[in-house]
Structure 1
Amino acid sequence: MQEFRLERPASVPSSSLSVRGIAWMLLLAVMWGLSIPVTKYGLQSVPPLTLTAMRFAIAVLLLFLCRIGKPTLTLRALPRAAALGILGIGVGQVAQAFGIQGTTASVGTIISATIPIFVVAFAALRLGQRVTGRQQFGLLAAFAGIGLVALGRNQAVGSVVSSDVVGAFWMLLSAVAIAFYYVWSVELTREYDTAAVAAWSTLFGFLALMPWCAWEMSHSEVHLTAGVVAAAAYLGVAVSVAGLFLWLYILKTVSAPVAASVQYLQPVFGIAAAAVMFGDTLGLLFGVGVVLILIGLALAVATRRKAEEAVPHE
């Protein structure tokens, strides 16, 4: 995670997209797309809460280093930042870690790609934005796709399938919580710098996670290998910090609808990486589910919106 809304002028023309801009967008899609497979790799040696804590310990340090000498949040804003951090990390990222542990990286990647779709639904509830008929159809298509993805692996029936369904449920809970986090952060990111909100909410989420992480480490085997440290470093540096600042840079150089196209590329890179890293086999139902989710994503978010309503992913 760390995608944030950014209010900015809607006058950036799509024609401003250059070869360099395309390159940055592709890089961001790769960085965020690899998030789920890299998390799956790290979870092979350490339990979910521990890996999540390692990731955000690194992210907190880097985010606050980037904030040195810059305006921070007021005391009045800190309780809201704390609530956002607990929601985004304590619920969203923890659920994602458990989901990735319980299913394949491919399933986790494509369900995680539904976050913008839930953002549309929550924006309608919280911000009073109208949900069009096309968006409603997109939501239905995406939910149908999630069901097919959860059941669509080429594997034997029984406990393995049940495990995958539980993992898919955790991923779905994660997507809902993170989307909820984005929509409820709109007011705060309009009042304060986006990176400041990111730093403080991440800090509070990390602090809330620590007691649970300590309990997990006392009840589970933890094997800190070089690969695990590298996975946590990638998630903390590339996904949570560098990805955030690269996204903010992209938003300044191209129109929001063009920048938001990153959402469509992430699952492509994520599923490809999962196939290479773990040999994930993708059945017919999975393929149909992926198509439905991508169609739902396109219908739900490909509307004419203000720039501040554009929501990236991961």
Structure 2
Amino acid sequence: MESLAFKAIKWLGPLAIVWGLTYPLTKLIAESVSPIVITWVRIGIAAVFFLILSNFKFSIGKKQFINAIFNTILFMLFLNVGTSISSNPGLAAVMIYTQPLFVVIIEKILGTNISMRALSGVILGFVGIALSITSVSLDLGVIIALIGGIVWAIGTVYYSRNLAKENIIKLNAFMNIVAFPFTLVLTPVNYYFTVSLSIIGLLILLGILAQAVGYYLWFNAIRDLGSIRASTGSLVVPVAAYILTFVILRIAPTPLEILGSIITLIGIYITISYRKI
């Protein structure tokens, strides 16, 4: 039987790399493509990806539709729009990753017994991410991104409680098919698209990595680790984003970002290494 630590490494390790790449890739693409277009391209590629893997079979139902609304449509829109209109996309990204805190709050409201160790690990992880951000101002984009974190938390808990036993590939096929037309109709909002082979290639790569592979890893992590551990483990994504952003864009992390990343990793370890949530 696989240990809890092995499951965490198995799903969250690759997830950190895949979703960590999302930030520098999106930054490169956003210079030529509007956020709404990036959103529906990602969703459309994921829909095709999961349709092929599922042999054109779906996991269909009311619960699956609700899951698609929170985990794909609303989350993706808040993520991309919030990050794009914020004066500080880094702070907007941090607000998205307040999700573990809201997962703990929601689970507590729903009656889950939350240990002090698990709670302290989540809080420590968020403090680490908060320290990574230097002097910034609060704006509409940051607020939208914070709402995105709440929406993601709701979707995570809903999936964990209602659909964790569903076929992940068939569920993702349905989610992305449902989400595609909703995001497509928003294309005229702040539309711009400078066509080039390199941009099209990056868009396809982003869709495959972030939406197809990333979501497959994410839902497997929730299934095997539970909503709280998986959500806390997702905090490693900003850490990976710092490293990958430096590798790709040569933007070096500040001392506070390095310190915050170390604190975040400690918080993640405290939570996912404890067997009793």
Matches within 5 A, 1:116-265: 116-126=100-110, 128-150=111-133, 152=134, 161-162=136-137, 166-190=140-164, 192-213=166-187, 215-216=188-189, 219-245=190-216, 256=225, 263=234, 265=236
Q: Report the equivalent of 1:64.
A: 51
Equivalent residue number for residue 310 of structure 1 = none
2:233 touches 2:268 (CA, 8 Å); kept in 1?
no
- 1:33 matched to 2:23? The reply is no
Please give the secondary structure, in 1, of the residue aligned with 2:137.
Answer: helix
Larger radius of gyration: 1
8 Å CA contact 1:275, 1:281 repeated in 2: yes
Decide whether the 8 Å contact of 1:109 with 1:270 is kept in 2. Answer: no
Q: Is the 1:87–1:177 contact (alpha carbons within 8 Å) kept by the matching residues of 2?
A: yes
Greater CA deviation, 295-304 or 84-93?
Answer: 295-304
Q: Which consecutive residues of structure 1, in runs of 5 or more, have no partner in the other structure?
A: 1-10, 154-160, 307-314
Q: CA deviation at 1:226?
A: 2.7
Counterpart residue number, 1:54: 41
Match of 1:81 among 64, 71, 80: 64
TM-score, reference length from structure 1: 0.70
Q: 1:111 to 1:226 in 2, by over 3 A?
A: farther
The answer to whether structure 1 residue 12 and structure 2 residue 2 are counterparts is yes
Which residue in the other structure is 1:43 paired with? 30
Partners in 2 of 1:60 and 1:109 — Cα distance?
A: 25
The answer to whether the Cα contact below 8 Å between 1:73 and 1:197 also exists between their aligned partners in 2 is yes
The Cα shift of 1:244 comes to 4.2
Matches within 5 A, 1:273-312: 273-304=244-275
Say if 1:117 and 1:296, in contact at 8 Å, map to a contact too: no
| Equivalent of residue 92 in structure 1, options 46, 62, 75 | 75
Post-superposition shift, 1:269? 2.5
Question: How many residues are matched?
Answer: 273
TM superposition shift of 1:124: 2.6
Deviations 1:6-61 (A, max 9, x none): xxxxx43469x6xxx97987544322221222122221211211110111111111
C-alpha offsets along residues 267-302 of structure 1, whole Å, 9 cap, x if unaligned?
Answer: 333111212334435444444444444444444444
Q: Which letter maps to 2:149?
A: A
Comparing 104-113 and 186-195, the one that deviates more: 104-113
Give distance in 2, aligned partners of 1:174 and 1:112. Answer: 6
The 2-side partners of 1:290 and 1:69 are apart by: 41
Q: In structure 2, do the counterparts of structure 1 residues 147 and 13 end up closer, same or farther at CA, with 3 Å as the change threshold?
A: closer
How much has 1:248 moved relative to structure 2? 7.4
After TM superposition, the structure 1 stretch with the greater mean CA deviation from structure 2, 47-56 or 274-283, is 274-283
Asked if the contact 2:236–2:264 (Cα under 8 Å) also holds between the matched residues in 1, the reply is no
Instruction: Give the Cα–Cα distance (whole angstroms) in 2 for the partners of residues 85 and 125 of structure 1.
Output: 23
Which letter maps to 2:59? L
CA gap 1:64/1:117 in 2 versus in 1, 3 angstroms: same
Could you tell me which runs of 5 or more consecutive residues in structure 2 were left unpaired when the two chains were aligned: none
Identity of aligned residues (%): 20
The alignment yields a C-alpha RMSD, in angstroms, of 3.7
1:6 equivalent in structure 2: none
